[in-house]
Amino acid sequence: MNTKKINSYKIALAVSSGVLLTLSFPKAGIFWLAWFALVPLLIALGNLSPKNSFILGFYAGLIHYLTLIYWLAHTMKTYGHLPLYQCLPVLVLLSAYLALYPAVFSMLANRLCPTPLSGLITIPCLWVFLEYLRAVLFTGFPWELLGYTQFKVLPLIQIADILGVYGVSFCIVLGNVTVFLVILCLTGKNWL
């Protein structure tokens, strides 16, 4: 039964996922972190209600997007000639909107995957579906999709010829879920 409440440990795990996701993108360029970045969030979702899973996913997403697209505030100030006090709320609002996608991902991953093994394919499919939705909904925001983190890994990104960036994202999330399952097996813990 999903009854555990959010505690500081689970919040720290969610926040660390947000930071790891950001570090895996080109600015920091630690591309291999993408293969582990969602693991702390997946661990944190254990034994939570869908509502609390949504909240943790929102924390992870908010930290991720605030640290990833921070440069938009400078762009709005420089090229849009907006004062900084107007740019920062716009950045926070955009980041909060984008954080809804990891929040929904967390809630649905918790809800649709009663056992960790059931998430092996469901979780990557869910992530890719939400990435696609983010890229097309409300004129879309196709920037910073997870598959973009692997731009330096030429053998891997060859699948993008056939499956697009979403295929690369699927592989990355599948890798995260696999690492998560190995951790669960080694620790002997249940997820939900």
Q: Where in the chain are the domains? A: 8-187
* Contact (CB, 8 A) for 84 and 95: no
Q: What is the pLDDT of residue 192?
A: 56
What is the pTM assigned to this prediction? 0.92
pLDDT tens digit sequence for 25-62: 998 989 999 999 999 999 999 889 999 999 999 999 99
Share of the chain above pLDDT 70, in %: 97
Is pLDDT above 70 for 101?
Answer: yes
Q: What average pLDDT does the structure give for the chain?
A: 92
